[in-house]
A and B are shown apart, each in its own frame.
Chain A
Amino acid sequence: MSKKITPEATSRRNFLKKFGISVGTASAVSTLGILSSCVTDDEEKVPMLTTDGKVINGKKTELKLNLNEMQIRSREGLSGKKFVMVIDLAKCKNARKCMSACQGAHHLKPEQHHINVLQTENAEGTGFYYQPKPCMHCDNPPCTKVCPVDATFKRKDGIVLIDNERCIGCRFCIAACPYSARVFNWEEPKYYEGDENAVYDMELNVPQKKGTVSKCLFSADRLRIGKLPYCVSACPNGTYWFGDANEDAVTNGTSKETVRLSTLLSDNGAYTLLPELGTKPSVYYLPPKDRTFEYKAGELNYLGEEEPKPQHG
């Protein structure tokens, strides 16, 4: 019955080692992760989550499903889960590792943001802060309401996804989203090595397709294997908490600390964006109180270059 588990110190060190690389390579790591999955040993076993919520160890080859199976699996989602994100505005220092990790993972262009770090203030003169803004994965999503072809939809685990293979590019969802969370592939998307032969993965939205809509997916491909989203893992400042509301637990992407969601929210006076619209977001914000750094006016432009003055409103 009793069994000795690996001392956490060791595992933490291991984690830190991995973490060191993932921070260091920020934008590159996620891409490489995808590429290396194409060349790694097929015998390697990886944890996989079945649609009924069980974690199994399967061969990597089993991950290579055909498009149809992938589509069905991706549309179903994970049973019993309700994924939520908590963004601690007091921690965000505009490092933008989340943005670059996300763009790398989802093969996006520099101007395409699944997650965008905004500089904003609540009312005039109340002070600016950095506000990472992913898709809110609303429980009353205005975007899926208007889709004419079921291309964007909500899964049972709360994630709102897009089916690139079905989207007709009418952009009604972009117009309907009050959070401006959606982007469009106006031109031929940015293709990465291996994209030509890749089977389309709805949970990663890769390869991107010209003339279709794309947006934050809460890294549904990572959640399936029990890993935190790309942006959450990439943050060096402990801004993101991510977890399952049904378990009432969220895990910090930087420290990997896990806490009670309800406690975290109520202790900090959490809020959601534009609650008056009734969209019921799955993303919570903790107020930017007790910041341990100074807000720096000025902005990095979409290429990550310094810009003299932010444009607000």
Chain B
Amino acid sequence: MNKLSKILSFVSISLLIMTNASAQDWNVTADQKAMTLGVAFTEDIQDAGNGIYNKSCKMCHGEVFVAPSNERALPLAPNLGATDWQAANTDGEIFAKITNGKGGMPPFSGSLSEDERWKVVAFIRANYDAYVPPASGNAAAAPKVEKFKGTIKDVEAIYNDAAQSFTVRVIAVDDNGHPAKAKGVKVDLFVKRYFGNMALIEGQRTDENGEVNVDATGLKANLDGNVEIIARTNDKAFAKEETVTIGYPEKWENPIEGRHMWGTSARTPLWLLISYLTVTLGTLGVIGWAVFQLLRIYNLRER
């Protein structure tokens, strides 16, 4: 059985690879190749690009992480953090590829603006150490955000009842071992859901107090009034799972408990049940009476 499944998966994967690989080449012109990053290479822009990436690209390309080369086999789209890929592509080339697409990769010229596409390029470049941002033109180098110097110890999330919000706090110490406020650390906050974890924030930087305020208005709790959350630093080094009570238990009304026309027989609407039984039994009663009359006729024989 296993053998069969392997053979089958091999055959189908090969088929998919063949169809994908046989697609035409990227047609990137020299002019396009020569283009340089059209936005500033700042953390802000990169973060904005990250947001766009999560929405439009992550579905196929997944997480971008630094690796010497792409490990993913077709039909999955490559990891854009692969160093060899980063080195082989100019900014203009990446931009052109996003714009025009190829085969399974759709063209984004319609759905993303030029500015947005450049922001995605900026995000893709963010973790590539060898990257040198263009120094001239509209892409003037901006001062890098100061990174937190101390040691991060933990991360936690607190629910504020009144504001209906979470505070994600990074707990850290400075070089001397004293508690410190970790500013500029990227953190995530997830709520556990039945089929996966739902991000309330992803990659948001802590403020000068080492905190991020996350609005949770209207967040639905489970039947006990709780939600299970995961707070973590964006680099996944620290994480904490907690169960937080965020409100009164959500009242769940069993939809099949009422008497509905669409319900089961045991849930027949009463008026219908009574009408049906009254009419049917009434009719049968009259019929029974008529049969009884036949009996009376029989009893009157030979008078």
Using a CB–CB distance below 8 Å, which chain A residues touch chain B? 1-5, 7-9, 12, 16, 19-21, 23-26, 28-29, 32, 35-36, 39, 53, 79-82, 139-142, 144-145, 150, 153-156, 158, 226-228, 236, 238, 242-244, 246-252, 254-260, 262, 290-293
Residues of B5-58 contacting chain A, CB below 8 A: 5, 8-9, 12-13, 16, 54, 58
CA distance A291 to B13 in the complex (A): 26
B220-A236 in contact (CB<8A)? no
B8 pairs with A255, CB closer than 8 A: no
Does chain A have a CB within 8 A of B108? Answer: yes
> Shortest CB–CB separation between residue A87 and chain B, in angstroms?
15
Among A142, A156, A255, contact of B254 (Cβ-Cβ < 8 Å): A156
Q: Which of B106, B193, B238 contacts A247 (CB 8 A)?
A: B193
Partner of B262, one of A36, A39, A154, A226: A154
B255-A145 in contact (CB<8A): no
Q: A24 near B75 (CB under 8 angstroms)? A: yes
Find out whether the CB atom of B195 lies under 8 angstroms from the CB atom of A243.
Answer: yes
Q: What are 11 residue pairs bridging A and B, where the CB atoms are less than 8 Å apart in the complex?
A: A9-B236, A36-B5, A80-B252, A142-B262, A144-B263, A154-B255, A156-B257, A247-B220, A250-B195, A257-B59, A290-B110
Which of A24, A150, A226, A258 is within 8 Å of B197, CB to CB?
A258
Total cross-chain contacts (CB, 8 A): 155
Residue contact A2 to B240, C-beta cutoff 8 Å:
yes
B284 close to A (CB within 8 Å): no
For the complex of A and B, the 6 pairs showing the least CB-CB separation, nearest first, are A292-B106, A24-B13, A251-B195, A258-B198, A249-B193, A255-B59
In the assembled complex, the CB of A74 is this many whole angstroms from the nearest CB of chain B, namely 13
* B133 sits at the interface (CB 8 A): no
By a CB distance below 8 angstroms, the chain B residues around A248 are: 218-220
CB-CB nearest in chain A for B195: A251
Nearest A residue to B4, CB-CB: A32
Q: Kindly state whether residue B294 has any CB partner on chain A within 8 Å.
A: no
Which residues 185-204 of B have a CB within 8 angstroms of A?
191, 193-199
Closest to A12 in B: B63
User: With a CB–CB cut-off of 8 A, which chain A residues contact B196?
Assistant: 251, 256-258
Contacts of B58 in A (CB 8 A): 255, 257
Q: Given A23-B16, A255-B58 in contact, is the A244-B111 Cβ separation under 8 Å?
A: no
B residues near A20, Cβ cutoff 8 Å: 13, 72-73, 75-76
Residue of B nearest to A251 (CB): B195
The residue in chain A whose Cβ has the minimal distance to the Cβ of B265 is A150
Measured CB to CB, the closest approach of chain A to B272, in angstroms, equals 11
Q: Does B115 contact A (CB under 8 A)?
A: no
Other CB < 8 Å A-B pairs besides A5-B232, A80-B222, 12 of them?
A3-B239, A3-B241, A12-B63, A16-B62, A24-B13, A25-B12, A35-B1, A238-B60, A249-B191, A262-B218, A290-B111, A291-B110
A16: chain B residues at CB < 8 Å are 62, 72, 76
Assembled-state Cα–Cα distance A39/B4 (Å): 13
Shortest C-beta distance, B225 to chain A (Å), equals 13
Asked, given contacts A5-B232, A9-B65, A16-B62, whether A24 binds B9 with beta carbons under 8 Å apart, the answer is yes
Most chain A beta-carbon contacts within 10 A, residue among B106, B220, B262: B262
* Whole-angstrom CA separation of A254 from B59 in the bound complex: 7
Interface of B: prevailing SS:
loop
Most A CB contacts (10 A, CB to CB) among B59, B107, B222 go to B59
* A23 and B194 in contact, given A39-B1, A144-B262, A150-B264 (Cβ under 8 angstroms): no
B-chain residues with CB within 8 Å of residue A293 when the two chains form the complex: 106
Contact status A28-B193, CB under 8 Å: no
For the complex, what is the distance from the CA of A154 to the CA of B194, rounded to whole Å? Answer: 21
Chain B residue at minimum C-beta to C-beta distance from A33? B5
Chain B residues within an 8 Å CB radius of A156: 254-257
- Please give the distance in Å from B53's CB to the nearest CB on chain A: 12
Contact of A4 among B195, B198, B239 (CB under 8 A): B239
B250 on the interface (CB 8 Å rule)? yes
List of A residues within 8 angstroms of B222 by Cβ:
80, 247
**In the complex, chain A residues whose CB is within 8 Å of the CB of B232:** 5
Q: Does B145 contact A (CB under 8 A)?
A: no
Q: Are B72 and A154 touching (Cβ within 8 A)?
A: no
Q: With A5-B230, A5-B232 given, is the CB distance from A158 to B241 under 8 Å?
A: no
Cα A5 to Cα B60 in complex, Å, equals: 24
- Considering only CB atoms, which chain A residue lies closest to B200 in the complex? A260
Within 8 Å by CB of B195, from A19, A158, A258, A291, lies A258
User: Judging by beta carbons under 8 Å apart, are B12 and A24 in contact?
Assistant: yes
Whether A292 touches B110, Cβ cut-off 8 Å, given contacts A154-B255, A244-B193, A260-B198, is yes
Q: Does B207 contact A (CB under 8 A)?
A: no
The reply on B154 being an interface residue by CB < 8 A is yes
The reply to whether B65 and A226 form a contact with Cβ atoms under 8 Å apart is no
Smallest Cβ distance from A152 to chain B, in angstroms?
Answer: 10
On chain B, the residues within 8 Å of A291 by CB distance are 110
Contact between A226 and B195, CB atoms less than 8 A apart: yes
- CA separation between A14 and B180, bound complex, in Å? 36
Chain B: CB-nearest residue to A49 = B194
Closest-CB distance, B266 to chain A (whole angstroms): 8
| Chain A CB within 8 A of B223 CB | yes
